[in-house]
Structure 1
């Protein structure tokens, strides 16, 4: 199980205003390998795009164990081009919802079914392992989605990716979709591709993985169309910390910061796993617990992700936190701090906060 398939170089680069150079893409690949990602979707199959051949060659030389997949339309010329650069997996994509089939493609269901099988057959004749991505799977009519999944498996697809293309599904809806498809499959793996339009992408990806999917797409910083996709940092973090899947979380922060820099993005200070201030605390009640045992108010040790704890004494600090801080600095504090002293100290801290990296 790959658990996470990174698609920063394909879906992530579809973010408006984001464009990575070849050198930057290689740096991103190096960072993803350091995290422990086993498969990367390196881009789109097209003779008009120069990066994929260079990236496949780079990965084969530098990261020979890494699986390189390539996104591809169900288009004869694009499939033919893919065969010239030999990705490890060709990910054919086709819409399955009526609104996309009718209004985007101007076709009908039979045309889509025929195009799918013809494209899989062509790719396999050219010697490429095939995965199939069903665009807008969560809005597809169920019986047609199941028919398409059965056709894909029958013609030799090794994986079916279900996309929540407009990002409006809930975890329960994702579970129902994955479960329905998994019932009819005999050998095909199931992957999930979630968008974040209602803020549910990571939760939806995890729900899929817990209910039959073997992999989920993710992007660094959650980059992607509109509100983006499943966040690589969040998904890798929860899979490591809750499922013990061996991702190297210490490699995530430098990779995220590098990607943010070249993508022109700012990482919010409270962003999960990558924010600068996620181990900073000022609240009195929490400070008291943290001084005694950091596990009282921290979900995991900051060292897990290469971060540093910072306990901030400010006007919200309580008596015990102030006393603990002073004693940690080598000052002896007799008895309790009375109300008058507490107000005086808080007034001082309001304008002169004392930071204690602990």
Structure 2
């Protein structure tokens, strides 16, 4: 079974200009519990991260079976903060690329390894479940990446999360990276955190699943740094509707998305995958012909599953068969082939003049005249 870590409250709140209130955070947790994600990253282990004590208390009280975690720098003060807050699971972050270790921090690989091991040891001494996240995995040396993963596992980490920090992976390369690390481990599970700089975050997450990852991170609407990360709604819908994995409530996605969109001032576009109001609208003749006969010819899943509706529109791109089918449905007898040709020409001309599809009333009026 593939699993999802939701990071709307951590990575998502790193979106410039986005700041959720405590009440909004509570509502987001409630939505996530309904949807069926496998872990909720509630925030960052730091006294500076607002509302954490109240949010953790709320989550534990209302959703005691919902695993939740905090992202933490590999620093003693942050790890101890997480333990004080009563959280059971932390995800330590440590850089693994030389660009981050050497250029950003002025350290070396030996320091990164020892710093990670010290962090894992402290977590375990405090009774915390510890996962380790490798920052900038996609630009790390492959040998060092494997070595760090093995060392983390031996020290007690139960999950290794590989971060494509600047979103440069393709699905093929994401799969290769996961296969490499997964093949180096004995028991630790592999997860990925993918960014969307080239529009491949969700695709890379799915490819990671297919190559040995059990976990992938997602945020509602793909919120996050720069172009954001993998979209929670796409991961949930794909696993549920294509992979047929049980346990998800895809019908909740749209209301959750609207809630987050309003809170984050991030409107959902009409053609946004899974959520958009226009994703089941069609005007093209060839597609209409198939959709009229069997919606599955051009729809990957039923609109009702995600709270959408099918809109089959007659306009300038509609063909003869689609127009005749629609007129038959409306109870209008167009007549012989010549009359049908005139009707088709009239419909297309009227739609071009209108700049959009025609209503049923407009179709009836046109075809009765012609």
Q: With structure 1 as the length reference, what TM-score do the two structures score?
A: 0.96
Which whole-Å CA distance do the structure 1 matches of 2:287 and 2:89 have between them?
49
Distance 1:355 1:53, change over 3 A: farther
Return 307-316 or 157-166, whichever deviates more: 307-316
Q: Does 1:265 align with 2:259?
A: no
Which whole-Å CA distance do the structure 1 matches of 2:110 and 2:212 have between them?
28
Once the two structures are superposed, what CA deviation does each residue of 1:188-216 show, in whole Å capped at 9, x if it has no partner? 00000100111111111011111111000
Cα deviation for residue 127 of structure 1 reads: 0.7
Give the equivalent residue in structure 2 for 1:341.
343
SS of structure 2 residue aligned to 1:40: strand
Whether the aligned pair in 1 keeps the contact of 2:194 and 2:230 (CA below 8 Å) is yes
Q: Does 1:107 align with 2:107?
A: yes
Which whole-Å CA distance do the structure 2 matches of 1:161 and 1:224 have between them?
17
SS of structure 2 residue aligned to 1:133: strand
Give the equivalent residue in structure 2 for 1:300.
301
Which whole-Å CA distance do the structure 2 matches of 1:117 and 1:284 have between them?
62
Give the equivalent residue in structure 2 for 1:241.
241
Whether the aligned pair in 2 keeps the contact of 1:95 and 1:134 (CA below 8 Å) is yes
Distance 1:173 1:348, change over 3 A: closer
Cα deviation for residue 355 of structure 1 reads: 4.2
Give the equivalent residue in structure 1 for 2:358.
354
Q: Does 1:135 align with 2:139?
A: no
Distance 1:288 1:153, change over 3 A: same
Give the equivalent residue in structure 2 for 1:93.
93
Q: What RMSD in Å do the two structures reach over aligned CA positions?
A: 1.5
Whether the aligned pair in 2 keeps the contact of 1:86 and 1:128 (CA below 8 Å) is no
Which whole-Å CA distance do the structure 2 matches of 1:338 and 1:310 have between them?
23
Q: Does 1:150 align with 2:150?
A: yes
**Structure 1 runs not aligned, ≥5 long:** none
Distance 1:280 1:339, change over 3 A: same
Distance 1:126 1:2, change over 3 A: farther
Cα deviation for residue 166 of structure 1 reads: 0.7
Which whole-Å CA distance do the structure 2 matches of 1:221 and 1:98 have between them?
31
Give the equivalent residue in structure 2 for 1:59.
59
Which whole-Å CA distance do the structure 2 matches of 1:339 and 1:8 have between them?
54
Q: Does 1:207 align with 2:212?
A: no
Cα deviation for residue 333 of structure 1 reads: 3.6
Distance 1:143 1:341, change over 3 A: closer
Which whole-Å CA distance do the structure 2 matches of 1:322 and 1:182 have between them?
54
Which whole-Å CA distance do the structure 2 matches of 1:259 and 1:311 have between them?
29
Once the two structures are superposed, what CA deviation does each residue of 1:126-152 show, in whole Å capped at 9, x if it has no partner? 111100000011111112111111111
Whether the aligned pair in 1 keeps the contact of 2:2 and 2:209 (CA below 8 Å) is no
Whether the aligned pair in 2 keeps the contact of 1:133 and 1:163 (CA below 8 Å) is yes
Once the two structures are superposed, what CA deviation does each residue of 1:40-92 show, in whole Å capped at 9, x if it has no partner? 10100001223222221111111111100100001111111111112231111
Count of matched residue pairs: 356
Give the equivalent residue in structure 2 for 1:45.
45
Which whole-Å CA distance do the structure 2 matches of 1:291 and 1:173 have between them?
40
Q: Does 1:78 align with 2:82?
A: no
Once the two structures are superposed, what CA deviation does each residue of 1:5-62 show, in whole Å capped at 9, x if it has no partner? 1001001111111111111111111111221112110100001223222221111111
